Amino acid sequence: MYDPAAFLISSTALTSIFSFFFGTYYAERQRAYELWLMFVAYGKEISQDQDKIDICAELESRDRMFFQARGFLGILLLTIALAYIVFQLYSFQYIFKSSPNYDPAAYSDYVWFNTIISFIVMINCLELLYIRVAICKSSSFPFVKLRQRVTGRDRLSKVWMLLECSQIKKRKYSSKQTPRAFYENQERYAQKKENEKPIIKP
């Protein structure tokens, strides 16, 4: 007997978990944007070294959270996609006439459940796409264009460089260059500044 209700329940439960962690991830992204606004856009300065240490530690901690949350959200989305594939494989044996388990009444149920589960999967994919891609207006057809969003980790890295956190970190920890993305962005930015220096002819 064709009974796909379990797949709908599991997809809904996974979506609830995904939405919860996505909301937490988005809140952390907003905090990264606030830090970027304070120190980069508005040029806030910190007079005491202890306050700078606190901010630097917070930046690295939040970067680690972003790294782990991205992996966890990816695993959840993959699990939802696998559940959808298993649902299709389960349904095929009831809706194909060549199958020994063919059930003429199963097709109508399959259409309804497939529509609902497909919509759930699509919503989860759009949520993850939203934090990576932005839609902007364009003067030419089709009057919209896509651009990659600045990630929360990139904003944290910019603040980290501005506060010169690598200079106040203990040598034995700074030598490990963790978080790696921060140090790589710092080297890339320093190289870019070096290349932009005017060449003085003798």
Give 23-35 pLDDT, tens digit per residue. Answer: 888 888 899 999 9
Q: What is the pLDDT of residue 20?
A: 87
Report if residue 202 sits inside a domain: no
pLDDT tens per residue, range 145-197: 888 888 888 899 999 988 888 888 888 887 777 788 888 888 887 777 666 66
- Interatomic CA distance for residues 160 and 166, integer angstroms: 8
Backbone phi, psi, residue 100, to 5°? -65, -20
Counting every residue written for the chain, the total comes to 202
Residue 33 is inside which H or E element, if any? helix 5-36
The per-residue pLDDT for range 136-145, each reduced to its tens digit, is 887 777 777 8
Q: Render pLDDT for 63-118 as a digit per residue (tens, 0 to 9).
A: 888 888 888 888 888 888 898 899 999 888 888 888 888 888 888 888 898 899 88
* Nearest CA among 120, 95, 87 for reference residue 5: 87
pLDDT digits (tens, 9 = 90+) for 2-47: 788 888 888 888 888 888 888 888 888 899 999 999 998 998 888 7
Report whether 92 contacts 110 (CB < 8 A).
no
CA dihedral sign, ordered 102, 105, 108, 113 = negative
Closest among 128, 175, 110, 121 to 23, alpha carbons compared: 128
Grade residue 125 by pLDDT with cuts at 50, 70 and 90: confident
Give the pLDDT of residue 137: 80
The model's confidence at residue 1, banded by pLDDT at 50, 70 and 90, is confident
Look at residue 65 and tell me if it is in a domain: yes
- Does residue 115 belong to any structural domain of this protein? yes
Residues spanned by the domain of 28? 5-193
Report yes or no on 181 lying in a domain. yes
Q: Quick one: tokens of 22?
A: 């996505």
pLDDT (mean) for 110-131? 87
State how many domains the chain has: 1
Q: How far apart are CA 91 and CA 107, in angstroms?
A: 9
CA 166 – CA 65 distance, rounded (Å): 19
Q: Which helix (H) or strand (E) holds 133?
A: strand 133-137
